[in-house]
Structure 1
């Protein structure tokens, strides 16, 4: 069992910055645990580490996948474990960094990705309901059948909602949380570092970052992706920031409203991330709002890691 560090938490807390600091001190390299940073051409909206940051510390699973290509957690698991093994072979320490909880679970647990037997008739009925009445209706159906699954799955993720409804219908029971349904992976000894900030500060950072992304050219990035043939139907374009600006381009609302929607949806996403990561009983939380400096926070993280080794 080999040591593995994971730096996780809600968006805009500073995960990339702190993961780099830890990597420099511990002789580590970083494996992205972010569902958007792995896509090529999607640099601004995914808040990828800068070229300077990537020169400081090697990053894996950044700029790997064409956004027009379907990508799954199964592929992520395979690629991430290959990267982790490569880092071990260099004699370095792998550091997972990001906020995609499902991707983290795919490394920490021996997850079973097998889908329940498909009932095509039931699936078609669910798809018709989504088209006719909206995906929110499906999410309410799931909340009635399996409240825990509904709490984990975003209302916009129709594909996952349908799969969860199929599981509830065919098995007569809900999908258990991965931490309960799967055994810990025996290959790794994980150190889980959770970063958070006081709610007011976190939300302010989110709002300001969205404005910064717009200044950096997020709308122009969306236009380039649309010109490449990407549409709102591609999974990659359902990420926060991209979908709202596509809707702006489609005339659903004005630009000011689109920006406000990005900020609101990002805040809601941060809340869901916190809910997800708080399920880990072995995670050590560091509230960065309580530190007078980054260096002091890093010292406490290093001390916590040292005690556990």
Structure 2
């Protein structure tokens, strides 16, 4: 076990301060940063993702930022492959990787491995499922899932659209329920790593204040204009994973509606705020779930985390 490579995982909900903490650790020397964020992978999506600025990235370089266009898809499996390669390269330099972000699915995939033989995504099948949902409703599609995979039906809610699509897609491709395949298939556990897991989990009231403040700054510095520029540059639609990111989805809906009245702008901003708070809630839920099977030290404040992480650089 002594030859396991140390990896620091710094998790937390949006606006919790984890990126600032990771940058402070980077300044101590001996570290490199790897982004664990499904939105930061997209080029030209800067303001709405709270992406570190170009100047900040020069001071604190992050791997896995700006690696694909908003038209492309990036999976948890791709993240594990990319992050594992980077972790090994960083250790080869004699440094310690810090993985920082809020995409808990990516952390879970890295910590536990992924089922090895599930089929790749099939866009034609996904389009077919989404078309049925649009014409008949998600309740009908969810009922289809419950009929072919009752266990998945118990685990998922009708609002878990992406998970429902994936489960139905796997069944259509293999003829077997995804829950059965996941239970039967071996997982590629990354035994060569020693994970040190930390999570920033501020008080909910405090976090909601920080989310509201961050969104106000985003609107002030041109989030709306950023999405308009994206629409001009790319052939975007609401079904792309990039445009399902919180904030972008609400702005895209607003721009498609065409009503630029003050009331509609305020409504869009309120929807984005609510969606971001819901994202934070889901991130808390993911973290609590991960805590059941992994040791994760949690902190309410950045200061508390700094004290505990001191042993990595003292």
- Equivalent of residue 298 in structure 2, options 278, 285, 288: 285
Q: How much has 1:172 moved relative to structure 2?
A: 5.0
Q: Deviations over 1:137-176 (max 9, x none)?
A: 535765783256416x96343xx31222455794457379
The aligned residue for residue 267 of structure 1 is 277
- Shift in Å, 1:229: 2.5
1:38: Cα distance to partner?
1.2
Q: What TM-score do the two structures reach when normalised by structure 2?
A: 0.82
Distance in 1 of aligned mates of 2:121 and 2:56: 45
In the alignment, structure 1 residue 206 sits paired with structure 2 residue 211: yes
- What is residue 291 of structure 1 aligned with on the other side? none
Q: How does 1:109-148 map to 2 (within 5 A)?
A: 109-115=112-118, 126-135=129-138, 137-139=140-142, 145=150, 146-147=152-153
Distance 1:196 1:125 in 2: 39
- Cα distance in 2 for partners of 1:14, 1:239 equals 19
Unpaired segments ≥5 residues, structure 2: none
Tell me how large the CA RMSD over aligned residues is: 3.3
CA shift for structure 1 position 75: 2.2
Q: Using the alignment, how far apart are the partners of 2:73 and 2:121 within structure 1?
A: 20
Cα offset for 1:100? 0.7
Structure 1 match to 2:220: 215
Residue 74 of structure 1 and its aligned partner are, at CA, apart by 2.5
Aligned residue number for residue 46 of structure 1: 49
Secondary structure at the counterpart of residue 268 of structure 1: helix
For residue 279 of structure 1, give the secondary structure of its aligned residue in structure 2: helix
Gaps spanning 5+ residues in structure 1: where?
A: 289-293
Asked whether 1:5 is paired with 2:8, we answer yes
Distance 1:121 1:22 in 2: 45
Task: Give TM-score, length-normalised by structure 1.
Answer: 0.83
Structure 2 residue corresponding to 1:105, chosen from 78, 100, 108: 108
* Deviations, residues 48-102 of structure 1 (Å, cap 9, x unaligned): 1223432333210111112222322222222222222221121110010001112
For residue 150 of structure 1, the aligned residue among 123, 146, 156 is: 156
Work out whether 1:242 is the aligned partner of 2:248. Answer: yes
